[in-house]
């Protein structure tokens, strides 16, 4: 659910800004990076399979590369890169303490029982 909290708004904004190629491209790439947690957990490398912190480092490690691309190509950081990266980092980091709340634990238990 945390990945969707990042992916859905960013991909919506990317679709909305589809006529602005630079903004659309950056929003779509950062939205895609937000979904990398599941594929990373299936890698045959032990720390990626079991350590959420290592997965987060790998995912967040792509953001400086986008910033470097902006600095190289535009000589500045694109506004979409800046705001989408900040949003991604905030939601990605904030979801861990939220996931430990009793209300979300209760919700998750009931969702598992439905399946």
pLDDT digits (tens, 9 = 90+) for 64-114: 999 999 999 999 999 999 999 999 999 988 888 888 889 988 988 998 988
Whether residue 86 contacts residue 63, with contact meaning beta carbons closer than 8 Å, is answered with: no
Place of tokens 């209300």: 103
Question: What are 55-62's contacts with CB under 8 Å, separation 24+?
Answer: 56/92, 59/33, 59/34, 59/92, 60/88, 60/89, 60/92, 62/33, 62/36
Q: What does pTM read for this prediction? A: 0.84
When pLDDT is cut at 50, 70 and 90, the band that residue 55 belongs to is confident
Closest CA to 58 of 76, 45, 73: 45
Domain ranges of the chain: 2-114
């Amino acid at each position: 659910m945390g990945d969707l909290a990042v992916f859905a708004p960013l991909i919506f904004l990317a679709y909305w800004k589809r006529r602005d190629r630079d903004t659309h491209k950056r929003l779509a790439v950062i939205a895609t990076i937000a979904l990398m947690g599941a594929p990373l957990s299936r890698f045959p490398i032990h720390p990626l399979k079991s350590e959420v912190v290592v997965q987060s480092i790998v995912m967040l490690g792509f953001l400086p590369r986008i910033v470097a691309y902006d600095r190289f190509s535009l000589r500045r950081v694109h506004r979409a890169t800046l705001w989408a990266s900040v949003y991604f980092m905030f939601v990605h980091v904030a979801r861990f303490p939220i996931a430990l709340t009793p209300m979300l634990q209760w919700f998750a238990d009931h969702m598992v029982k439905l399946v």
